[in-house]
Amino acid sequence: MSPATLTIDLGAIAHNTAVMKRVAGEAKLMCVVKADAYNHGAQRVIPAMEDAGADAFGVATLAEAARIRQLTDKPVLAWIWQPGEEIPEGIEVGVPGLEHLRWLVNHNVKCPVHLIVDTGLNRSGIDEEDWPQAFDLATASGLEVRGLMSHFACADEPTHPYNQVQRDAFQRAITLARAHGLEVPVNHLANSPGTLTGPENAFGMVRPGIALYGLNPVEGTGADATAGAGAELQPAMTLSAGLTAVKRISKGEGASYSLTWTAPEDGWTAIVPMGYADGIPRAWQDHIEVTIGGRRYPQVGRVCMDQFIVWLGADRAGINVGDQAVIFGGGGMSAAELARRVGTIHYEVMCAPGGRVVREYVDKQESHEATV
């Protein structure tokens, strides 16, 4: 048993999926479950999403897609791959460039495809000057083209003018594809913020990720940017650990490597058994506040490989070995607040816990454990 636990609320996952399904309106809902469902554990998360209305699942790599294919009968789409890779049976693929499209055609690969068109993110996708060639090749080859896909650059800023630039470009691509003989029945541009901020972003399918796990991607008012439907989202992940020591320390004494922190008065420290081997980077030190018994306490000194120190102050307040310290999630700092403190985004905070951390799944009926 590990003293550190990543608790995943499957009820929250189901709730968030239902929220996004409702917001999507008539558009289909593709749930993005890459990176093991954003570190929530795809094996347990996917059934909850299916029950709540998921129409399809999206991942990054073909290896991920093959694993997800074993967990669901819904369509599974992967969009990061190289020509020459074996396409797993039953997988749909995003086509990010002309080279990929030519390889599929030349090798007579029979799988449904979604042509990725670059509408301005300039990351991957077929450039606009190549759209006619790509659409002609797809039409002539008889490839089963399910639709077009692209990705917003600034959807987390709903009023950013570039969102309209990309919507216009995506509509041009759809119109041109149909003029070149492709039906492209299901097209998708909207990520989580795009889905939450306007029906004009939906087209035929939406492709949210972070919102399904309960974190709002749209900046607004309040600690977690609870604007619009994002206010209904319920964070599904809590990271906590049981204290392994509670110790006295005298004023002026240092603690942890290099003694970079010294006690400001006689008092108490507590030891949290997590470190950078478990997904608490050294760069987070001096920014973390853990919650013990409903009260926040600052992390002090260097974060070590296996543990870090918390300053309890002059009053031990009845804290004992075994008490739970919440690093982020239910009852503690949100992942969004921690992200702001350490200068990153909540996506990265959620993906950080690993190593010896143990996942625990909870719902109204039961809880289970599995190693991360």
Q: Is 305 part of any known ligand binding site?
A: yes
| DSSP character at residue 305 | S
Q: Is residue 114 within 8 Å of residue 146, measured between CB atoms?
A: yes
Cα separation, 91 vs 61, whole angstroms: 11
> Hey, how many other C-beta atoms are within 10 angstroms of the C-beta on 317?
12
Angle in degrees, CA 234, 239, 245, rounded to 5: 145
Cα separation, 104 vs 63, whole angstroms: 18
Question: Among the options 110, 247, 251, 257, which is catalytic?
Answer: 257
Question: Among the options 34, 276, 297, 361, which is catalytic?
Answer: 34
The question of whether 213 is a catalytic residue gets the answer no
Q: For the chain, state the CA radius of gyration.
A: 24
Q: Is 123 part of any known ligand binding site?
A: yes
The question of whether 28 is a catalytic residue gets the answer no
Report residue 281: phi and psi, to 5°.
Answer: -65, 150
Cα separation, 216 vs 227, whole angstroms: 8
The CA-atom distances, in angstroms, between 228 and each of 23, 191, 197, 255 are 10, 16, 8, 45
Query: DSSP characters for 244-279?
Result: -EEEEE-TT-EESGGG-EE-SSSEEEEEES--GGGT
Catalytic residue list: 34, 257
Residue ranges of the annotated binding site are 123, 305
Residue ranges of the annotated binding site for substrate are 123, 305
